[in-house]
């Protein structure tokens, strides 16, 4: 039963997307309760590298969302403390041969028409940007809008900052698993039941990441979110050996692929704290967290081919995470017409950290009746109901 003490909305998920939804909703004057069965950033966010990228996206709705988000992240960098490690350091995408360079050149031209800044870097100038790069590369493209943040700290500080926004408020309830979505007589969402009891609200935001499909199911709707596992290698602290986010042309193809098989492509970046992060791998194996020596071997080999200096560096740890994958590689954002009162903000795959602010702004605008910053039709949560068998991408 709704009371005067009921929040305006419940956000399920205390990762960076849920934190961004809470932040912008509170800034709009709404009262928010954030619920998570674990700690802040205990899921995909805590296992992420903190990528804020436009360089790896084809022109279309996801790129539009990313361009909005990179502007919002710059604004948020004034809100977040320095220890959140926001860096507008830019990205460098490199090609091993002329064929892959031609593919990058075509992508960069199309991205530029969509508002992405980039500049071709000939092979002889690559080491001006990255002195430790391997010789023999054909060239690459520099993307100054790419950035990075420490994702777990960003989520925590967004939630902290949300509590002081406008007339809104944020209550955080951790260690409470949602076991049921409460509904009214007409089927409208009216809150959630957790392991600690019932909480009522007129709106529930599904920001449960990889478990977004499960939460949707509790509300009686289908959202085909699947986990896509990835590993990251972490080196010992180093001087700034890698200056940008650096990856090969293969990574762009892997991001767009829907294959369930193992894919690895070199992604290397330094951090303000010193360690170098090495990725990226993708495979659909359910929620299996088993350490894969083969994946780690591939990542290490690809990274050292790109940066030979890393062959003399120790890897001190590794971690795994699950990207929330939807079949068309687009997130589900907005109200679900099949369950009035339910909004989705999940399914961002490996781009959730980068896309979080734009997602939060859209959710807040929907809840307050404000004008939307872009067309959210491609992100409709019920779009898979209308898809024909075998459809893998939204037109």
Q: Is 120 exposed, middle or buried (0-12, 13-18, 19+ CB in 10 A)?
A: middle
Domain boundaries 9-50+151-225+328-386, corresponding CATH code: 3.50.50.60
Bridge partner residues of 324 (DSSP): 227
| Contacts of residue 197, Cβ cutoff 8 Å, sequence gap at least 6 | none
Cα distance between residue 17 and residue 73, in whole Å: 13
Measured between alpha carbons, how far is 283 from 231 in angstroms, rounded to an integer?
10
pTM of the model: 0.94
Q: Annotate the chain with three-state secondary structure.
A: CCCCCCCCEEEECCCHHHHHHHHHHHHCCCEEEEEECCCCCCCCHHHCCCEECCCCCCCCHHHHHHHHHHHHHHHHCCCCCHHHCCECCCEEEEECCHHHHHHHHHHHHHHHHCCCCCEEEEHHHHHHHCCCCCCCCCEEEEECCCEECCHHHHHHHHHHHHCCCCCCEEEEEECCCEEEEEECCCCCEEEEEECCEEEECCCEEECCHHHHHHHHHHCCCCCCCEEEEEEEEEECCCCCCCCCEEEEHHHHHHHHCCCCCCEEEEEEEECCCCCEEEEEEEECECECCCCCHHHHHHHHHHHHHHCHHHHHCCEEEEEEEEEEECCCCCCEEEECCCCCCEEEEECCHHHHHHHHHHHHHHHHHHHHCCCCCCCCHHHCCCHHHHCCCCCCCCC
Q: What is the pLDDT of residue 263?
A: 87
Cis status of the peptide bond prior to 228, with omega within 30 of 0: no
Backbone angles phi, psi at 363, to 5 degrees: -60, -45
pLDDT of 394: 30
Answer left, alpha or beta for residue 194, where phi above 0 means left and psi between -120 and 50 means alpha: beta
Contact 300, 278 (CB under 8 A): yes
Q: Answer whether 9-50+151-225+328-386 and 91-140+226-325 agree in fold.
A: no
Domain boundaries of the chain, sorted by first residue: 9-50+151-225+328-386, 91-140+226-325
Superfamily of domain 91-140+226-325: D-Amino Acid Oxidase, subunit A, domain 2 (3.30.9.10)
- Per-residue pLDDT tens, the chain, 395 aa: give them: 566 678 999 999 999 999 999 999 999 999 999 999 999 999 999 998 899 999 999 999 999 999 999 999 999 998 888 888 999 999 999 999 999 999 999 999 999 999 999 999 999 999 999 999 999 999 999 999 999 999 999 999 999 998 765 567 899 999 999 999 999 999 999 999 999 999 999 999 999 999 999 999 999 999 999 999 999 999 999 999 999 999 998 877 767 667 778 888 889 999 998 999 999 899 999 999 999 999 999 999 999 999 999 999 999 999 999 999 999 999 999 999 999 999 999 999 999 999 999 999 999 999 999 999 999 999 999 999 864 343 333 32
Cα distances from 312 to residues 236, 256, 294, 298, in angstroms, run 11, 33, 20, 16
pLDDT at residue 389, as a whole number: 40
82 burial level (CB within 10 Å; 0-12, 13-18, 19+): exposed
Closest CA to 355 of 37, 3, 34, 53: 53
Buried b (16+ CB within 10 A) or exposed e, 13-32: bbbbbbbbbbbbbbbbebbb
Which pLDDT belongs to residue 37?
Answer: 97
């Amino acid at each position: 039963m709704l009371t005067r003490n009921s929040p305006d909305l419940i956000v399920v998920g205390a990762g960076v997307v849920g934190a961004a939804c809470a932040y912008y909703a509170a800034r709009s004057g709404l009262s928010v309760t954030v619920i998570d069965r674990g700690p802040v950033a205990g899921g995909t966010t805590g296992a992420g590298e903190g990528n804020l990228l436009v360089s790896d996206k084809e022109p279309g709705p996801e790129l539009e969302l990313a361009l909005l988000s990179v502007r919002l992240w710059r604004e948020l960098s004034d809100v977040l403390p320095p220890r959140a490690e926001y860096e507008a350091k830019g990205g460098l995408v490199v090609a091993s041969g002329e064929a892959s360079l031609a593919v990058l050149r075509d992508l960069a031209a199309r991205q530029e028409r969509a508002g992405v800044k980039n500049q071709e870097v000939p092979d002889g100038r690559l080491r001006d940007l990255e002195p430790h790069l391997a010789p023999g590369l054909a060239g690459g493209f520099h993307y100054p809008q790419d950035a990075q943040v420490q994702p777990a700290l960003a989520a925590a500080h967004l939630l902290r900052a949300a509590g002081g926004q406008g007339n809104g408020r944020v209550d955080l309830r951790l260690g409470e698993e949602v076991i049921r979505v409460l509904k009214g007589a007409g089927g409208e969402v009216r809150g959630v039941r957790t392991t600690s009891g019932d909480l009522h609200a007129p709106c529930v935001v599904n920001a449960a990441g990889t478990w977004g499909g499960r939460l949707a199911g509790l509300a009686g709707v289908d959202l085909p979110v699947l986990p896509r596992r990835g590993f990251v290698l972490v080196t010992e602290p180093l001087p700034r050996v890698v200056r940008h986010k650096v990856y090969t042309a293969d990574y762009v193809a892997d991001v767009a692929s829907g294959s369930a098989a193992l894919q690895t492509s070199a992604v290397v970046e330094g951090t303000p704290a010193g360690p170098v992060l090495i990725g990226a791998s993708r495979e659909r194996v359910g929620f299996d967290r088993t350490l894969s020596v083969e994946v780690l071997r591939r990542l290490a080999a690809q990274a050292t081919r790109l940066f030979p200096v890393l062959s003399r560096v120790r890897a001190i740890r590794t971690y795994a995470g699950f990207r929330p994958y939807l079949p068309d590689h687009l997130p589900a954002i907005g109200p679900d017409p099949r369950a009035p009162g339910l909004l989705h903000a999940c399914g961002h795959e490996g781009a959730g950290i980068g896309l979080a602010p734009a997602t939060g702004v859209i959710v807040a605008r929907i809840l307050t009746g404000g004008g939307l910053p872009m067309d959210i039709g491609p992100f409709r949560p019920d779009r898979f109901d209308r898809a024909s068998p075998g459809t893998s991408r939204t037109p």
